[in-house]
Amino acid sequence: MLSRAKKTGRKFQNTVETGVGGLGVALKVLRLYLTNKEERVPRHRLGPFRTDATIYDRAPASGLRITWMGHSSMLIEIDGVHVLVDPVWDQRASPVRWAGPKRFFQAPLPLSELPGIDVVLISHDHYDHLGKSTVQKLACMEAGRNARWITSLGVGRLLRDFGVDAAQITELDWTESVTVGSDAELKITALPARHFSGRSLWNRFETLWSSFVLKGARHNVYFGADSGLWDGFAEIGQQYGPFDLTMLDTGAYDELWKDIHMGPDGAAKAFAAMGASKLLMPIHWGLFDLALHSWRQPIERTIELADEFGTRLWIPEPGVPTEVVAEHRSGWWLPK
């Protein structure tokens, strides 16, 4: 089941049959949006969250430290390698600056204060995972001057259009790996996810979407990116685990598009299938209004399931560099 990606014509295919919804689903969702009463956007201001960038002057004692910026954007310090994942510092996850899902809070760490980045890892080309203005700025910054940009097949063209030097870009097919780093080495492997791609209705599936394994000298991390539930999670755990930290998609889900976003219940099943080793980090929540549920619902349901099944969670506060050593529930989302 874990194999190279397949294409039909110009379009990549999921490993299992997957529905992403068309115009009919869009119209149904629109009607639901108009009648929805959930607190999809926080009624009260969140934060401000602020990262103390001086912390990066000292390497993490444990070897694994993560600064979660919200949603799926984060800085991972793993065994001496700095990896910036799915960077979106843009105000909106949208093709335009004047409309579309807007951030619930400002980025805790200005791009100008980033430490030196070894790798920029981008899972796929959706707006909430690949911010155009963010990439344009990173491509010109000293912090990213020597970075390797690692992404899925076909996404490199977008990165080049946004100003990234072609010589710095590596595109991976599913099950392909690349080793990065100089003083320290990190092996990054692209694996299937059950999702899709495209920055418009007319170019869906023309670039690939991936999850990734980050394996350092001492730590092993799985970044699940966006995915619906599928049988491949068990195989990923068997072949590439166990993982010190497993990051899984828990937000922006709905029954109408369950094939491409698994939500908390799917994440609990996926984590169990992967062996339920060590810690689960819920991602893809808490920053953008991308579904019909309350903005807090994904984390509340994730905790409810974790308490039921004895799952150890790792939930940091946005912008706080936090070492991954034990279960951690920051509670930053709780009403003040």
pLDDT tens, residue by residue, 66-88: 999 999 999 999 999 999 999 99
> What b/e string do you get for 73-86 counting C-beta neighbours within 10 Å, with b at 16 or more?
bbbbbbbbbbbbbb
| Candidate from 48-57, 138-147, 152-161, 297-306 with smallest mean pLDDT | 138-147
In this prediction, residue 34 carries a pLDDT of 75
Residue 265 · residue 302 · CB < 8 Å: no
Q: How far apart are CA 155 and CA 41, in angstroms?
A: 30
Q: Which two tokens stand for residue 44?
A: 């009260």
Residue 191 · residue 200 · CB < 8 Å: no
In this prediction, residue 324 carries a pLDDT of 98
In this prediction, residue 182 carries a pLDDT of 75
9, pLDDT greater than 70: yes
Q: Which two tokens stand for residue 180?
A: 């990065």
In this prediction, residue 24 carries a pLDDT of 67
If one compares 45 and 26, the residue with the highest pLDDT of the two is 45
Residues 6 or more apart whose Cβ sits within 8 Å of residue 182: none
Chain-centroid distance, C-alpha 137: 20
Pairing assessment for the beta strands 279-283 and 245-249 based on DSSP bridges = parallel
Residues 6 or more apart whose Cβ sits within 8 Å of residue 273: 231, 233, 234, 237
33: confidence class by pLDDT, cuts 50, 70, 90: confident
Mean pLDDT of 233-247: 98
Q: pLDDT averaged over the chain?
A: 95
Query: What is the full DSSP assignment across 264-285?
Result: HHHHHHHHHHTT--SEEEEES-
Residues 6 or more apart whose Cβ sits within 8 Å of residue 215: 186, 187, 188, 189, 221, 240
In this prediction, residue 211 carries a pLDDT of 98
Residue 170 · residue 148 · CB < 8 Å: yes
Q: How far apart are CA 152 and CA 23, in angstroms?
A: 27
What are the structural domains of the chain? Answer: 54-323 (3.60.15.10)
**Which residues share a beta bridge with 28?**
none
Q: pTM here?
A: 0.96
Q: How far apart are CA 76 and CA 65, in angstroms?
A: 6
**Which residues share a beta bridge with 64?**
78
pLDDT tens, residue by residue, 102-139: 999 999 999 999 999 999 999 999 999 999 999 999 99
Mean pLDDT of 273-301: 97
In this prediction, residue 22 carries a pLDDT of 66
Residue 155 · residue 171 · CB < 8 Å: yes
